[in-house]
Amino acid sequence: MPLTPELQKDIAARLRYYRDLGVFDFYQRGSATAEAVAEAPPQDIAQDQMPKTESIALQEPETSTPVAPENRIEALRIIQEEIGECTRCPLAFQGRHTVVFGEGNPYARLMFVGEGPGADEDAQGRPFVGRAGQLLNNMINAMGLQREQVYIANIVKCRPPQNRTPEPAEAITCSQFLLRQIDVIRPEIIVALGSTAATYLLGGKSPLSALRGRVHEMHGTKLVVTYHPAFLLRDPRQKKEAWKDLQIAMAELGLQPPKKSASEQA
């Protein structure tokens, strides 16, 4: 097969993808080293080399330097610039149009983290702007806040095809940027929206029912788990349960829900 410019570009993107996953060595099939690895009995593999399938925590950023409050806007701009038109994982080649970085108040006390962009978000380059985003806005307002007062991001910044759940490699590849955003913003509370966000932020799979109703800790930040707004659109009966979760976050922040007017109470 001739090495065309298009093929060279694809190979370079794939190598960057493996690099960002931490893979730096490749073995040619048929080489002595490859055969030795393939034929090694399981008991000869060191324990620390075994794949840790039970742990899927996000990858820590290489550097985590505290950012002065007055520099948070600039720090977020630098992270977004580094991401650029990202080609670090396969999502870049599966129909993605826009990298959805995240948006909100860099000084927010409260941060929401969802799963990934949908079609509306991919088109507009903003998180949670579709029907689920409208519901999230209502949830934020019910807490006595405005969308502009919080920060909103996702586990992955590119839309997975047909809105499927992000693959572990995709989430872990994208994690360095999300964790850097969290390091810059330093929210007092993170609300994980749905099981995918909870899984990667907390570093392990558990039923949502086992994670809700209490405060977790993530790298020195308190974290509360609730349902994803898209799920609440499919099953509105769970909105009351989601409100209980939001009240936990509100209690940690010392917030009170806004008082209803007489017309709203009627």
Percent of the chain with pLDDT over 70: 72
CA-closest candidate to residue 241, choices 224, 222, 231, 227: 227
| H/E run at residue 91 | none
**Fold designation for 69-257:** Uracil-DNA Glycosylase, subunit E (3.40.470)
The pLDDT assigned to 59 comes to 59
- For the chain, strand residue ranges (E) read 103-104, 110-114, 151-154, 189-193, 216-218, 221-226
Least confident interval from 44-53, 137-146, 187-196: 44-53
User: What pLDDT, on the 0 to 100 scale, is given for residue 1?
Assistant: 56
Concatenated DSSP letters of 240-263: HHHHHHHHHHHHHHT--PPPPPHH
Report the mean per-residue pLDDT for the chain.
Answer: 82
Quick one: average pLDDT of 260-266? 52
Report pLDDT digits (tens) over 157-205: 999 999 999 999 999 999 999 999 999 999 999 999 999 999 999 999 9
Q: Which of 18-32, 127-141, 156-170, 209-223 shows the lowest mean pLDDT across its residues? A: 18-32
Q: Which residues contact 224 (CB under 8 A, 6 or more apart)?
A: 189, 190, 191, 192, 215, 216, 245, 246, 248, 249, 252
- Listed in order, the ranges of the chain carrying CATH 3.40.470.10 are 69-257
Identify the sign of the CA torsion 42, 46, 52, 54: positive
Question: Predicted confidence band at 32 (pLDDT cuts at 50, 70, 90)?
Answer: very low
Residue 11: pLDDT band (50, 70, 90) is low
In degrees and rounded to multiples of 5, residue 144 shows phi and psi of 90, 20
